[in-house]
Structure 1
Amino acid sequence: MASDSITPMASGQDLGGRSRFAKLGMATNDVLNQAYRDILEMEVPPSLIYNKVKASPNFYRRLRPEQGQLLINATHSGYKNFDISLTYQLIRNICSKIPKPTKGKWGEEPEAGEVTVGDDIERIRSIRNGLTANVSSASTPEAEFNHTWSTMSDICQRLETFTGKKYLDQLNLFHKLTIRGETETEDNPIEKTKMRKENGRTRFAKLKMATNDVLNQAYRDILEMEVSPSDIENKVRASRVYKRLRPERAYLEGC
C-alpha cells in the first residue's frame, strides 16, 4: 500500500518535476513490474522457472550470478524479488504462449493502435527505459508525466483483462501521493513523525532520484574528463560498442 506522502531528495529545485519522476518510478517498479510477474507466472510456475531457464543454456549464460540465485530461490519465495529487468528477460526468452507484439518480434516500440499483451510488455519496457536509462536528471515535465500516466493506465486496464488481477486501483494510489519538500518539515513535529514512518517505497524513490541526479552527474563528469562531448560520437563509432547501442541510446539489460 502506498504511503500518504514522500519527501524528495532536494527541495526548491523543480520540486514538481522530481515529484512526478518519483511517482512514475514507484508505479513502474511496483504496479507494472507486478503485472510482469503475473504474466510470467501464468506460463511458468516459480517452482519450475530454474529448470526452464537451465534448459535454454544460451540464455542462462547471459544471466548474472545473483539472477541465477533468484531463479533457485523462486521455488520457495516465488517471483516477489524479481526486478523488472529480469522479469522482462524471462518473458521474452522463456515464455512461448504469451501473445507476441503486433510487429512479430520483441524489442520494438509498438504503434498507438497495437495493443496485444506483447505490445504492452514492450510499452512497460519503454517506460522503464525512459526513467532509468535515458534521463539526465530525476525530473519529469508535466506534459510528459500526463502522457506516460495515461499510457500506464491503459496498460493496466488491458492487462487486468488478461491476467484477472487488479492493477489500476494500486496505480491510482501512487497518483494521489502528496510529495512534500524537506524544508516544510524542519519545524513541524507532526511532519517529522510522518517522515520517520516512511516505508520502503519512499526510500526507493529517494535512492532513484539521487542515482539519476547526483551519481549520474558524476558519471558524466568522469566521461568528460577523457572525452569531450564534441568528440564522443566519433569515439564511439570507432569502437565495437557502437553496434550494441539502440537508436535512442537507451539500454535495458536483456532487451
Structure 2
Amino acid sequence: MSMTYEERQARLGYIILKLFPTIMQSIFKGHTNPRGLRVNFQLKDFRTSLTLKETSLMEQLPNIEDFTLKLCYKILRFENLILEPSCKWGNNPHATEVEIGDDIQRIINLTNEVISKQCEDISEIYYNEFLEITKDVTKRVDGYLHQETCFKMLRILSSADISTAEILQKLALVQKINVSQTIDSDAEIREQYSRMSLVITDTFPNILRDVIRSVIHTNKLYQLCVPHMRSFPLDQQKSLKDLDLLNSNDSLDVSLVYKLLRQFKLIPSPTKGWGLYPEKGDIKLGDDVERIRNYRNQIAHRTNIIIEKNEFENYFDHFRDIGRRMDLNFFQKTNYEETIVLHKTCRMDIQMQVKYENALQELENIKCE
C-alpha cells in the first residue's frame, strides 16, 4: 500500500530531525577539537554570530550531543574548518561533485527543501529521489570518516514506526538554514589585511632576495658590505654577518635588500630614480623593486587594519602584476604570480590570520631607508 503525502513528508521529516544532525555531528567531530573550540569561544575568537540558544549550546562544550544541524554547519563553514565544496557554499552540487563539503551542502539543501514544501508536493518520485541521494551521502560520509554509523542509522530510521502527526508537528517548527554569508563583516575585512600581509612579509622579501641573488654571489656581497658595516644598524649588521656565516641571504628583509641594491648600484635605477614612486608604465626591474618598498611601507605603517574590498582587490591586482613581471625577469623559473593569487584565495584559519596580522604590526616601527 502506497503512502499518503503526509506519511511521505513525515518520513523525510524524521530523517531531517534524526539523521542529518547526527551526520553533521560526526563530521564536526572529525574536523575540530571540541575543547579547543571552547577556548576559542571563551576568548571570543569566533567569526560567526550565534543565537542565544546556540550560545547556550556552545557553553556546553566539549559536549556536542545537542548541537543542531544548523550550528554544526555554521561552525564548519564560517570558522573555515572544512574546505569549501566544489559547487561553492549555498549552491546545488552537481552529481559528480562528491567531496565532503558538497555532501554537507546537499544535507542543508535537502533540509531546506522539505521544510519549504507543502505535503502534497512530496510526490513518490521526490520521496524516492530524496532517499537515494541521502543513501549515497551516508555511504560517502561513512567512508570519509572510516565508520558505518550513518548508513546503518538511515536503514533503521527508514523502517521505524513513527507518529506522522507528531513528526509533522515537530517539522513545522524547524526553520530554514540561511546559506548566505553571515560572518562578521569586520572579521572579513581583517582577514583581507592578513592576506595582504602574506604578500608583504613572505613573498616580497623572497622576490627581492632572488633579485639580489641573481646579480651578486652571497660571499661577494658580504665582502662588499664589510668596509661599510658601521653604517648599518645593529640588526642589519647581524643579517649581513649571516651572509658569511650561513652562506645564505634568507635573513635579509625588504628594507635591507632595497638599501643594498640602491647603495651598491647592483641593478639599474628605477625610471624616475630611487625613492620616487614609479608611473604605471614604468616596468623596469628597479621600478618593481621601488613598488615593493612602497607597498611594504604603505601597508605596514597604516594607522588601522581595515582594508575595504575595493582597496583589497586593487592592491592584489598590483601585487599580481609585480609577480608576473618578476617571473619574466627570472625567465619563468619562479612562480610568484601564482603564489600571490594563492595568497588571495587560500584557506585561512584564525591562527593564520592572527599570525600575519601580527607580522605586519611588528613592521610598523621599522622604516625603509
- Give the one of 185, 201, 204 matched to 1:32: 204
2:243 counterpart letter in structure 1: A
| TM superposition shift of 1:120 | 0.6
Name 1:205's counterpart in structure 2: 356
Contact in 2 for aligned 1:9/1:209 (Cα 8 Å): no
Structure 1 residue 176 corresponds to structure 2 residue 176: no
Q: Supply the RMSD in Å over aligned alpha carbons.
A: 2.8
TM-score by length of 1: 0.65
Question: How many Å separate the matches in 2 of 1:127 and 1:23?
Answer: 14
Deviations 1:45-85 (A, max 9, x none): 11222211124x3xx33311221122121132411121111
Alignment of 1:112-127 (within 5 A): 112-127=280-295
- Give the one of 93, 111, 116 matched to 2:279: 111
Contact in 2 for aligned 1:22/1:205 (Cα 8 Å): yes
Deviations 1:97-118 (A, max 9, x none): x232111x20101111111111
Deviations 1:173-217 (A, max 9, x none): 21112345x5xxxxxxxxxxxx6xx6xxx56314236658xxx8x
Structure 1 residue 21 corresponds to structure 2 residue 190: no
Name 2:218's counterpart in structure 1: 46
Name 2:316's counterpart in structure 1: 149
2:274 counterpart letter in structure 1: W
- Give the one of 89, 94, 105 matched to 2:264: 94
Question: How many Å separate the matches in 1 of 2:240 and 2:343?
Answer: 29
Question: How many Å separate the matches in 2 of 1:48 and 1:203?
Answer: 38
Deviations 1:23-66 (A, max 9, x none): 111112211211100111112211222211124x3xx3331122
| TM superposition shift of 1:163 | 2.2
Closer, same or farther in 2 for the Cα pair 1:46/1:204, shift >3 Å? farther
- Give the one of 141, 163, 168 matched to 2:330: 163
Give 1 or 2 for the bigger CA radius of gyration.
2
| TM superposition shift of 1:14 | 1.2
Question: How many Å separate the matches in 1 of 2:45 and 2:285?
Answer: 36
Contact in 2 for aligned 1:109/1:122 (Cα 8 Å): yes
Contact in 2 for aligned 1:9/1:210 (Cα 8 Å): no
Question: How many Å separate the matches in 2 of 1:179 and 1:155?
Answer: 23
2:314 counterpart letter in structure 1: H
Unaligned runs of 5+ in 1: 1-6, 183-194, 220-250
1:68 counterpart letter in structure 2: Q
Q: How many residues align?
A: 188
Question: How many Å separate the matches in 2 of 1:139 and 1:9?
Answer: 18
- Give the one of 229, 232, 252 matched to 2:367: 252
Question: How many Å separate the matches in 2 of 1:79 and 1:9?
Answer: 37
- Give the one of 297, 321, 333 matched to 1:129: 297
TM-score by length of 2: 0.46
Question: How many Å separate the matches in 2 of 1:78 and 1:9?
Answer: 38
Segment drifting more, 79-88 vs 144-153: 79-88
